[in-house]
Structure 1
């Protein structure tokens, strides 16, 4: 339960700046921050966990049931998330902007249904699959539910305040530094939003608890794709600033490749520091590429 609360803390931060940007009409930054959070957790944060755990221990292993479930869910969710973009980039006849927005809204509703189905699976019908991970989590951070919720509320409140200030500085920063919206959202804002996952995942990896480190990274990426992104679309319609799931071609490539690489490096349910370096390296390549998109 603890790692779910931790993931939710980071997710709530991203919810805030997604909704704030939506109201301000900064749709490109919203989409870019979604992209950056997905590839950031899948490559940069997970790679950091692999590296820091790997330099202390020769080999790190994680729960195969958890890895298989997370990988399959991630692949399914990313596939659904990117379908509107694929239709747009293929220039499908009749697939207009308004149709893209309506289709994205439908996809968002489906993804949110899958999200809640996953919660039922995780906490009700198949909870036993992850009992080892929960047991380790309880021993490492034995706060209890009440203290965990209090911690969650306090940190979320602080993060929301920081994000509100941050959002107000986005446009002046873009003008003064000459950055593109894609780079700002996918790299700068995403790294800030992933701060919670960065610290906690690295801590657990250092303690050789790759089950929790892996869960934090992958579940955070999943929640962005399956809950935060759909919620941003829905709130866009509520605020009268319709948003679709039509991402820039580079974003589509980055999300697709990061998901593929994630599955490949975790298929054997073990890892080492070199795989961490490889994941971080790929993330840096994408980050540099985003910089050139103005």
Structure 2
């Protein structure tokens, strides 16, 4: 029954978003229907990825989960880049990072902590994740610090160099975590976990491809309406990108991480939240810099002081809470409170 409602909801809201896009002049209606459609399609994308991961193996499956978990955000961002909305792109990157580190991780820790007094995961992995987040913070700070001393062409060149180095660092991190040190970084709570096989290999891959294509299509519709919606509601591009678009793109990951924590799989929740933030900051954001080259204008890697402060705060508190390899419900409250504080600050900018 739930599955029928889920698939019916996908069909209904995808059709509604198409009708609103092509036949309605209401940007708000277009934005709402398309956002709901993307959330449902992202959930379908996540389920398809889990089924593909069953056949690909545990380590490759984990990488596929992280990659396609960010597919909706990446596709939305590519269309924003195509439209030249660089400020909104960087705001959405900021929102994805702080949303995963504060909201996703916070709700997971809170929900799991209310059911289990203390939850534990691999502290060695948490330490390396913290170091990688510090690398991301440093890489984002450098262009902003040197902005006043460099002209625009040199800032663009510096952005491309930093983007390339971050992608290399991320690829080496995958090699380190999935190959050379996979035993040390594995989490005992997620090892040998049985996964019910729902779809055949062919069906899983076809659904994965189809869901990705539909997310791409609806993401383009979302981008076409987002500027008008932000103007009509009086919201800044910074708030829309950092919170509205980021929450839409992250919806499937939010629910997955919370459900894993409720099953006492907090290690998997941390991997979803922190791993997704690492992929956004070390791979997705740098990739968007190179993608912008194909559209004729390079997006620089210079973030606003508000965005930099938010990312630094999120990385600091998430690192301090997760570094010891154990969590409780109050730590989840702290993370969510920081997220709400940042949300209020972004709203009033």
TM-score (norm: length of structure 2): 0.78
Secondary structure of residue in 1 paired with 2:343: helix
Partner of 2:152: 97
1:277-288 aligned within 5 A: 277-288=333-344
1:116 aligns with 2:171: yes
1:10 aligns with 2:69: yes
Partner of 2:224: 168
Which runs of no fewer than 5 residues in structure 1 stay unpaired? none
> 1:22, 1:255 → 2: CA distance?
21
Indicate conservation of the 8 Å contact 2:140/2:302, yes or no. no
1:271 aligns with 2:327: yes
**Paired residue for 2:345, among 280, 289, 292?**
289
- Tell me how far 1:127 sits from its aligned partner: 1.8
Partner of 2:257: 201
- Tell me how far 1:87 sits from its aligned partner: 2.2
- Tell me how far 1:7 sits from its aligned partner: 1.9
Let me know the Cα RMSD of the aligned residues.
Answer: 2.0
1:47-196 aligned within 5 A: 47-88=106-147, 91=148, 93=149, 95-133=150-188, 135-136=190-191, 138-140=193-195, 146=201, 149=205, 152-196=208-252
- Tell me how far 1:32 sits from its aligned partner: 0.2
Indicate conservation of the 8 Å contact 1:233/1:242, yes or no. yes
Indicate conservation of the 8 Å contact 2:190/2:265, yes or no. no
Indicate conservation of the 8 Å contact 2:190/2:268, yes or no. no
**What per-residue deviation string (whole Å, max 9, x for no partner) do you get for residues 227-273 of structure 1?**
11101111112211221111111001000111111111112211111
Indicate conservation of the 8 Å contact 1:82/1:245, yes or no. no
The total of aligned residue pairs comes to 289
C-alpha distance 194-46 of structure 1, shift in aligned 2 (>3 A): same
Indicate conservation of the 8 Å contact 1:42/1:258, yes or no. yes
Indicate conservation of the 8 Å contact 1:133/1:212, yes or no. no
**Paired residue for 2:292, among 228, 236, 242?**
236
- Higher RCO, Cα 8 Å, sep 6+: 1
Secondary structure of residue in 1 paired with 2:303: coil
> 1:68, 1:145 → 2: CA distance?
38
Which runs of no fewer than 5 residues in structure 2 stay unpaired? 1-58
